[in-house]
Structure 1
Amino acid sequence: MHRILYAILISATVVMLYGYYQYFISGVNDLDGRKRIASLLGQYNAYGEYLAIAICGTIILFSSKSKLKKRYFIYPIFISLLISLFLSLNRGSWIAIFLSLLLGAFLFRKHINVKWVVCGIIIISIAFSGLIISRFSELSESGKFHSKNTFFGRMEHWGNALPLIIARPLRGYGTGTSYLVMGEYGNKIMAMHNDYLLLFLESGVIALLFYLTFLLRNLLYFIRYRSNIPELNFAVFTCCTYLLIISVVQNILNNVTVFPMYLCIVASGIKLNMLYIENRDSRRIHLKS
């Protein structure tokens, strides 16, 4: 399981290096002239999502009680992940990871050192305060082609999608048809920027309920077993919560890089908990015998 997490960490290093090249050397800008990093992901928002999930995977490695903790090269990569996340200018990921960490700190408060989580959030917020304030101040500005407050544009798009969803709630319009359907009937060809509405539109309410059940079961698993390996379960819980929140404003489900990373981290977390439970039970049997 640790090999999977190290693979994510090593691949993230390559992705971040190319991201730094874009930011500092090639000078790639978005439509409004801002320096934005898409790196190898090819999309600005996807890069932020990739980094947020990689951060959760790195926290899992920090929680290891083995000699893995002595491999100090994890620390500079973790710091680089944080820097890259803020340079990505991905407001949605900032908000989602912040809320996930706060909720995790509250639910795991009896099992982890909450003050380190809170202090970490405060220090990082202060360190990047200028960038954060600048980015959120753009919400009241207008770019060359659109308002920089992209959330209102997405809400309008969601409103256009709702009548189409209501018209075919059970089986939807078919997988991968959202652009075609919204372009023909919603009068605007644009990504849905909401996994739940996307799944509802394309596959119907049953598929949506199954997907929500899957996500919530993962989340509840790590709450249920939070006392087993608290730091690890806190990290995976944060990852699960992040995905639930960011899916409200982004499309993660059809991203062939980010969503499999989420699955790998959840699977690693479940496997490590299973190994912990097996070892604990075997010790109990040994003591009884």
Structure 2
Amino acid sequence: MAQFDTLLQIMLFCFCFSMMTLILRPIWATMYLIWFRATFAVAAYLHISSLAGMPFFVPAYLALWIVIGIHYIVMQRAWPPALPIFSYYIVTIFMLISTLGFFIFSPSPPSNLIDTMTKHLLPIAVYFGISAGIRNATDLQRLATPLIWTLIAALLVGLIQSLTGYSYDYAHDLIVTGIRPVGTIIDANAYGIFLCLCAFTITPYAMMPGQKQMKLLLALFILAILLSKNRGSWIAAIIAVIIGVMVYSRHINLKRFFGMLLVVTLVGSPIVVQRFTALKEVDKFGQSQDTFSERINQSSKLLGQASLSPIVGYGAGSAEQPWGNDKLSRPPHDDYVRMVYEFGYPIAVLYIIFLFDQAIRATRLKRSQNWQYGFGALMAMVYVIVISFTQNLLFDTITYAIIMLILAITHRAIRISHVQQKNDRDSEYSTDDRPGNPSHGNFRTANRVIR
């Protein structure tokens, strides 16, 4: 085991060193970190330390912030406008203050404080990194290549686990059969969420002409989602797809969509039926497969206690309490309840506003030639809103990094569309059509650089 820890630490050092070579390519640097975090998530679950006893991924997070900071300064990039995710900034700042207060008044190692604070800041780093690298429509399309390389490892490992029947149970530290696949994400629920978010991320690229690789990748993700046996993700994804298709119906080939839906239904029906009929069974460790009622009980208990401190909550990490059949300390499987309990009702409401605001923003591309990005983002945000009732996303580093990746792509697509529309209007109203005029003939709006 010690040799395995040492090997991972060497890989972490090589990762941080190689990250510094990507200062001029912020998209690749950001996707590199997402790949590293998703591929070696086992280091976090095994509590492997890095430099000076810090949690394993902290140096990697800091390396990304350094690379992005240097890039913005050296290349003189304009920082992303605060308005699109302003409420998320406020939520993050409050969580950081609460985390610091929880550390001051509750004895805990400094490494835990650093780990928690860097986790909260990582999604913003992802947002900044992707935003810095997308300056025109061509950059949006080129993002397809790093997406493939970033997401393929976790996907293939999960598919192999599904097909062989062997998977890693982190709760018991065993490689066993008969449990849900976890990919490289290690946790089965987080793996199902990761798959769905990745599928929504690549959907815009799969819908573009000539993107055969992305179409194949999307098909593999849909297959992996079915094989992940994650009931909550299935329900949330179905709701998200239905709403997305309804809003963007003018761009969707409904016959082709319903044909694909029929194929997915026929392939997935045996798996879905088996998964839902298993609710009355117990697993090989004697735990009930029906965890929903237990989650409701725990959430109700925490909401009752939250009424005693409704404004500021009880502090970061306080919602992790013993519950379930094994009585392990874990947070409630509900982001909204956890936000209320740890940070109070005002911050929870602000976070909900943030989610709905992003879903509404995604509809702004309905009449744009970049509509595919809005379609994928709308499905992703509806999925997040629904799945947050039964899972933890905000406090999971890798899943929320994917969410901010989606938002960065969408916000840049909106900005690019606005520039294109403005330039098109200017071109229409131009009356000087002389060959020497810059507006004559070659009006290249698609690749107009934005800041």
Q: What is the TM-score of this pair, normalised by structure 2?
A: 0.58
CA-atom RMSD, angstroms?
A: 2.2
- Distance 1:177-1:9 versus aligned 2 partners, 3 A rule: farther
Residue 350 of structure 2 is matched in structure 1 by 210
In 2, the alpha carbon distance for the partners of 1:142 and 1:236 equals: 37
Contact map agreement 1:4 1:264 (CA 8 A) in 2: no
Contact map agreement 1:112 1:231 (CA 8 A) in 2: no
Aligned length: 281
> Displacement of 1:95 after TM fit?
0.8
Contact map agreement 1:23 1:35 (CA 8 A) in 2: no
- Distance 1:202-1:70 versus aligned 2 partners, 3 A rule: same
Match of residue 236, structure 1, among 364, 367, 377: 377
1:40 aligns with 2:184: yes
- 2:417 alignment partner AA: Y
Match of residue 171, structure 1, among 312, 320, 328: 312
In 1, the alpha carbon distance for the partners of 2:141 and 2:406 equals: 10
1:262 aligns with 2:406: no
> Displacement of 1:5 after TM fit?
4.8
Residue 49 of structure 2 is matched in structure 1 by none
> Displacement of 1:87 after TM fit?
1.4
> Displacement of 1:207 after TM fit?
1.1
Q: What is the TM-score of this pair, normalised by structure 1?
A: 0.89
In 2, the alpha carbon distance for the partners of 1:275 and 1:132 equals: 41
Higher relative contact order (CA 8 A, sep 6+): 1
In 2, the alpha carbon distance for the partners of 1:244 and 1:72 equals: 31
Corresponding residue SS for 1:39: coil
Residue 363 of structure 2 is matched in structure 1 by 223
Greater helix share, 1 or 2? 1
Match of residue 136, structure 1, among 260, 265, 276: 276
1:22 aligns with 2:166: no
Corresponding residue SS for 1:79: helix
In 2, the alpha carbon distance for the partners of 1:75 and 1:106 equals: 22
In 1, the alpha carbon distance for the partners of 2:347 and 2:388 equals: 15
1:154 aligns with 2:295: yes
- Distance 1:22-1:225 versus aligned 2 partners, 3 A rule: closer
Contact map agreement 2:306 2:340 (CA 8 A) in 1: yes
- 2:263 alignment partner AA: I
In 2, the alpha carbon distance for the partners of 1:20 and 1:142 equals: 24
In 2, the alpha carbon distance for the partners of 1:238 and 1:97 equals: 8
Residue 84 of structure 1 is matched in structure 2 by 224
In 1, the alpha carbon distance for the partners of 2:248 and 2:217 equals: 25
If you compute each CA radius of gyration, which structure gives the higher value, 1 or 2?
2
Structure 2 gap segments, 5+ residues each: 1-139, 431-451
> Displacement of 1:60 after TM fit?
1.2
Q: Give the percent of matched residue pairs that are identical in Structure 1 and Structure 2.
A: 21
Which shifted more, 138-147 or 206-215? 138-147
Residue 131 of structure 2 is matched in structure 1 by none
- 2:159 alignment partner AA: Y
> Displacement of 1:26 after TM fit?
7.4
Residue 99 of structure 1 is matched in structure 2 by 239
- 1:257 alignment partner AA: I
> Displacement of 1:3 after TM fit?
4.5
In 2, the alpha carbon distance for the partners of 1:230 and 1:196 equals: 30
Which shifted more, 55-64 or 20-29? 20-29
